[in-house]
Amino acid sequence: MYLRTLLATASLTLLLGSVALAQTSAPASASAQAPYPVSRVTLVTHSSPGGGTDVFLRNLNKHLAGVLKTNLAVENVRGGSGATAVANVAKGAPNGSIFYGTTPTYIQTTLLSKPPVGYDGLDPMLIIFIDPEVIYTRTESPFKSLSDVVAHAKANPGKSRWGAANPASLERIGMEKLARAGGVKVPIVSHEGGGDLMIGVLNGTYDIGIGEMQELQGQLEAGKIRLLATLSEQRLATLPKLATAKEQGLNVVIRKFRGIASPKGLPDAIAKTWEDAVRKVVALPAYKADYTKDHLTPMVLGREAARKFTTEVAQETAAAFKEMGLIK
């Protein structure tokens, strides 16, 4: 009797152990990451080495290669204000071997230049960051807020001047929107680069300028400029005391993004692999230290959401260009 009971107990223990082993081993095999389909991936940018998108992609690659378990390289393709790079990626194989680093530039170039292959010749795969635009003035100026700037422009018609980047840039669009929102007519002077614009603000030629935190950081740390507002939807986590334009009564939001697009026809499985990998990488402390330093705000959107977001930005940009008389 005792022996029969002992054997029954032993059999039950073995059975339960087998069930437990099956339960613990099955998910492990199911969740094992499938190998990436190609051994080398090229991320193409229209940006020159050291430019904003070039730096973004190279920093991303440092942390992403180990997660995707493949080799990543950045290729700088210049020409046509980004159109050459877009066309180069569009004709690539949709097998996960080539992608384009996206910014609003590829939308703007399409709308203004109408190249043979535009932004809609690629398939938005990911939006990863919002790169905030901020309004700044020289430290010695009397302006402490956007309200001060607008009030000065209204009280002194013809005496205010604002600076921005080239005529078709997102920065120029932002300044035009601020002027309309504030109900003022102010000459907005364009420059090819942020360096010349900064000089104009520092020497008092312009009341305010607009730019990315990356390019303003040096002058800000040196105490040469004062930030007046961010044109983001919400305050920046890295600059929590800097009010948005909306909070200051000017309903202006500029969505400068950084993302990745693929040739059309890329399988959903590869797009999902990238989305999952990027979500992991954005949460890594080492990468977070990199992008926080540049004041980039994570906003990871997968393929469907990225498509919708890109379409919305294109519509906003087209409307702004029409208001500015740049397109019909």
127 plus 265 within the same structural domain: yes
Tokens (6 digits) for 96: 């996960």
pLDDT digits 0-9 by tens, 56-74: 999 999 999 999 999 999 9
What pLDDT does residue 283 have? 96
Report the phi/psi class of residue 164: left, alpha or beta, with left for phi > 0 and alpha for psi in -120 to 50. Answer: beta
What pLDDT does residue 166 have? 73
Here the CATH number for the domain that contains residue 138 is 3.40.190.10
Question: Which residue would you say has higher pLDDT here, 292 or 28?
Answer: 292
pLDDT digits 0-9 by tens, 160-217: 999 997 777 888 899 999 999 999 999 999 876 677 889 999 999 999 999 888 788 8
By the 8 A CB rule, do 194 and 205 touch?
Answer: no
pLDDT range class, residue 22, cuts 50, 70, 90: very low
70 plus 166 within the same structural domain: no
Would residue 8 count as lying in a domain? Answer: no
CA nearest to 55, candidates 232, 258, 268, 195: 258
What pLDDT does residue 47 have? 84
Which contacts (CB < 8 Å, 24+ apart) does range 52-61 have? 52/103, 52/131, 52/212, 52/214, 52/258, 53/101, 53/103, 53/258, 55/214, 55/294, 56/101, 56/129, 56/258, 56/296, 57/101, 59/287, 59/290, 59/291, 60/128, 60/278, 60/281, 60/287
Here the CATH number for the domain that contains residue 57 is 3.40.190.150
Task: Indicate the average pLDDT of the chain.
Answer: 87
260 plus 120 within the same structural domain: yes
Would residue 195 count as lying in a domain? Answer: yes
Would residue 25 count as lying in a domain? Answer: no
Would residue 76 count as lying in a domain? Answer: yes
The domain in which residue 160 lies consists of 133-248
**pLDDT over 80 (residue 1):** no
Choice among 22-26, 74-78, 218-222, 249-253 with the minimum mean pLDDT: 22-26
206 plus 165 within the same structural domain: yes
**pLDDT over 60 (residue 248):** yes
**pLDDT over 70 (residue 27):** no
- d(C-alpha 147, C-alpha 250), whole Å: 9
- Segment 14-33 shows an average pLDDT of 42
What pLDDT does residue 18 have? 41
Tokens (6 digits) for 21: 């082993």
**What pTM value is reported for the model?**
0.80
**pLDDT over 70 (residue 252):** yes
- d(C-alpha 131, C-alpha 297), whole Å: 6
Choice among 15-29, 30-44, 195-209 with the minimum mean pLDDT: 15-29
What pLDDT does residue 32 have? 54
What pLDDT does residue 300 have? 97
Question: Which residue would you say has higher pLDDT here, 217 or 110?
Answer: 110
pLDDT digits 0-9 by tens, 262-310: 999 999 999 999 999 999 999 999 999 989 988 899 999 999 999 999 9
- Segment 122-132 shows an average pLDDT of 96
pLDDT digits 0-9 by tens, 143-153: 999 999 999 99
Task: Please tell me the total count of domains within the chain.
Answer: 2
By the 8 A CB rule, do 147 and 249 touch?
Answer: yes
Would residue 11 count as lying in a domain? Answer: no
119 plus 200 within the same structural domain: no
Would residue 266 count as lying in a domain? Answer: yes
pLDDT range class, residue 12, cuts 50, 70, 90: very low
232 plus 272 within the same structural domain: no
270 plus 121 within the same structural domain: yes
Question: Which residue would you say has higher pLDDT here, 142 or 31?
Answer: 142
Q: Where are the alpha helices (DSSP H) in 91-167?
A: 105-113, 146-155
Three-state DSSP at 229 gives strand
139 plus 198 within the same structural domain: yes
Radius of gyration of the chain (CA): 25
Would residue 184 count as lying in a domain? Answer: yes
**pLDDT over 90 (residue 2):** no
